[in-house]
């Protein structure tokens, strides 16, 4: 039975302060680095969500110990062993853990949700083969026949489908016997900020990476255990900031980092270009970020290459439906391989509610249009679900199908949203 969630409508400007849990991307990278480290690590502020729980269970099943000490995780690496890994629909699990499995003594079998079998994965599996790892299969399900070590060497990959192919190799590269040299050969490289995030965290773990253009070289070296502190998830914060933009209100997100590699930070400039006022208070390493929207109906459209920030596309597309002028979002052809084909899904759902969205080869063109209520399908995609919630703020009668899918990265989203709107 399909569950429909009546998206709260707000006839008045929203004023609210929101605390956002930790970053999924930072949490899962910290988990992998802690699992491969020479000594123990601690992780404070780790996100608890479906994606991060799947990563933790995958590593635990392979012999890594996680102990919760009052909200701080102690992670102790162990001798990696064979296991069955459930990837769910988590791109980080299906693309980061196979390289870890190369150092297990035994077979590590990977499977996941039905949609996971359609997500791009062959690139990283072939790359591991080229680095001397025995991999059976070219899509989900597949098996890594771990032998406790792997040779490494040079590998060329086309990471046009996902930057996670590069990050997945980089995170484990220092453990390969001969190190790893990765060269991206494709015409485009989406989500470069996520690769920068990986490089930043590797440096924090004491791993030196030589980067030249789209080539990364990592010599064999120890990965250090360390104390990680996870920032709030800025991409998960963007729907709340969008609420201020579309209702003419003011929303504050607490503890916004002063310096970050998270792509979600770019939302500040996007909202300013669309007519919002954005202020970042002074508070040391972390600030309170406040977005104040223009008078209702005064939001401006935007032309934007989102190649580096594709995960923000559903939020920006939802904003665009409330703008007074057209928007064009490009550089995001790779979103067709995400939790769903986000370009097709956004087009279909916006148009079904009376909007005017045109699907382009690499993006979306959205024109102002008076929208109406109806069912907004989520496609088991957390960011599609939150996009529907944003639209529901200014369009009465929007019912979001399977809002619970937001638990992939933000458990309790619907409760936070209702509290914000005062519903």
Q: What's the CA angle centered on 95, arms 270 and 181, to 5 degrees?
A: 95
Looking at residue 337, what is its pLDDT? Answer: 84
162 phi and psi angles, rounded to 5 deg: -170, 130
Cα(329)–Cα(387) distance, integer angstroms: 15
Nearest 10 degrees: Cα torsion 147, 87, 235, 304: 90
Cα(99)–Cα(9) distance, integer angstroms: 45
Between 382-394 and 313-321, two packed helices, what is the crossing angle to 10 degrees? Answer: 20
* R_g of the chain computed on alpha carbons: 21
Q: Which residues pair with 142 in a beta bridge?
A: 110
Query: DSSP code of 246?
Result: H
Is 231 annotated in the active site?
no
311 labelled binding-site residue: yes
Nearest to 386 by CA among 354, 326, 356, 345: 345
| Full-model pTM | 0.92
Say if residues 416 and 232 touch (Cβ distance below 8 Å): no
378 labelled binding-site residue: no
Task: Please name the residue that has the structure tokens 């590593």.
Answer: 59
149 labelled binding-site residue: no
Cα(28)–Cα(245) distance, integer angstroms: 31
Say if residues 337 and 120 touch (Cβ distance below 8 Å): yes
What 3-state DSSP class applies to 197?
Answer: helix
Looking at residue 285, what is its pLDDT? Answer: 65
What 3-state DSSP class applies to 69?
Answer: strand
Task: Judge residue 343's burial from the number of C-beta atoms within 10 Å of its C-beta, 0-12 exposed, 13-18 middle, 19 or more buried.
Answer: buried
29 labelled binding-site residue: yes
Nearest to 118 by CA among 58, 161, 166: 161
User: Given 60, 196, 210, 311, which residue is catalytic?
Assistant: 311
338 labelled binding-site residue: yes
Q: In what order do the strands lie in the sheet with 250-257?
A: 15-18, 250-257, 286-292, 277-280
Instruction: In the chain, count H helices and then E strands.
Output: 12, 23
24 labelled binding-site residue: yes
Say if residues 115 and 340 touch (Cβ distance below 8 Å): yes
Q: Which residues pair with 4 in a beta bridge?
A: 401
Q: Which residues pair with 147 in a beta bridge?
A: 105
Domain boundaries, the chain: 4-22+233-421, 24-229
119 labelled binding-site residue: yes
User: Beta 215-218 vs 180-184: how paired, if at all?
Assistant: antiparallel
Between 122-130 and 91-101, two packed helices, what is the crossing angle to 10 degrees? Answer: 10
48 labelled binding-site residue: no
Task: Please name the residue that has the structure tokens 């079904």.
Answer: 352
Cα(105)–Cα(247) distance, integer angstroms: 56
Cα(222)–Cα(299) distance, integer angstroms: 51
Nearest to 110 by CA among 74, 135, 76: 135
Express each pLDDT in 354-411 by its tens digit: 999 999 999 999 999 999 999 999 999 999 999 999 999 999 999 999 999 999 999 9
325 phi and psi angles, rounded to 5 deg: -130, 165
Residues of the chain with pLDDT under 50: none
CA 202 to chain centre: 18
User: Beta 303-305 vs 41-44: how paired, if at all?
Assistant: unpaired
164 labelled binding-site residue: yes
What 3-state DSSP class applies to 291?
Answer: strand
In CATH, what is the architecture of 4-22+233-421?
Alpha-beta prism (3.65)
| Fold agreement between 4-22+233-421 and 24-229 | yes
Cα(108)–Cα(287) distance, integer angstroms: 42
Q: Which residues of 88-109 are buried (b: 16+ CB within 10 A; e: fewer)?
A: bbbbbbbbbbbbbbbbbebbbb
One CATH from 3.20.20.10, 3.20.20.140, 3.20.130.10, 3.65.10.10 for 24-229: 3.65.10.10
CA 271 to chain centre: 20
SS3 content of the chain, % helix, strand, coil (to 5): 35, 25, 40
């Amino acid at each position: 039975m399909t569950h429909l969630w009546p998206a709260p409508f707000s006839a008045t400007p929203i004023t609210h302060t929101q605390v956002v849990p930790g970053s999924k991307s930072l949490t899962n990278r910290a988990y992998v680095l802690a699992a491969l480290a020479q000594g123990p690590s601690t992780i404070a502020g780790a996100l608890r969500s479906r994606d991060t729980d799947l990563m933790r269970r995958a590593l635990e099943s392979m012999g890594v110990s996680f102990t919760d000490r009052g909200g701080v995780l102690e992670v102790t690496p162990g001798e990696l062993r064979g296991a069955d890994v459930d990837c769910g629909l988590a791109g980080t699990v299906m693309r980061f853990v196979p390289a870890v499995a190369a150092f297990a003594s035994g077979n590590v079998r990977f499977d996941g949700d039905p949609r996971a079998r359609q997500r791009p994965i062959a690139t990283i599996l072939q790359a591991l083969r080229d680095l001397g790892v025995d991999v059976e299969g070219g899509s989900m399900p597949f098996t890594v026949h771990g032998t406790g070590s792997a040779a490494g060497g040079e590998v060329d990959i086309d990471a046009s489908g996902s930057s996670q192919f590069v990050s997945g190799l980089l995170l484990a590269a220092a453990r390969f016997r001969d190190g790893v040299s990765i060269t991206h050969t494709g015409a485009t490289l989406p989500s470069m900020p996520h690769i920068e995030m990986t490089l930043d965290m590797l440096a924090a773990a004491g791993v030196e990476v030589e980067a030249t253009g789209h080539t990364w070289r990592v010599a064999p070296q120890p990965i250090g255990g360390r104390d990680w502190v996870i920032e709030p998830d800025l991409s998960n914060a963007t729907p709340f900031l969008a609420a201020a933009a579309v209702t003419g209100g003011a929303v504050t997100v607490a503890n916004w980092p002063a310096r970050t590699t998270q792509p979600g930070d770019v939302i500040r400039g996007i909202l300013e270009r669309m007519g919002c006022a954005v202020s970042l208070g002074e508070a040391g390493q972390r600030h309170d970020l406040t977005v104040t929207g223009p008078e209702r109906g005064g939001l401006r459209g935007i032309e934007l290459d989102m190649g580096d920030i594709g995960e923000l596309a559903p939020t920006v597309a939802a904003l665009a439906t409330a703008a007074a002028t057209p928007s064009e979002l490009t550089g995001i052809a790779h979103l067709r391989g995400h939790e769903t084909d986000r370009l097709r899904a956004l087009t279909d759902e916006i148009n079904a509610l009376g909007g005017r969205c045109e699907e382009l080869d690499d993006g979306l063109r959205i024109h102002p249009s008076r929208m109406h209520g109806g069912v907004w399908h989520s496609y088991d995609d957390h960011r599609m679900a939150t996009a529907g919630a944003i639209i529901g703020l200014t369009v009465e009668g929007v019912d979001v199908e399977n809002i619970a899918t937001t638990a992939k990265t933000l458990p309790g989203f619907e409760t936070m949203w209702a509290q914000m709107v005062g519903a």
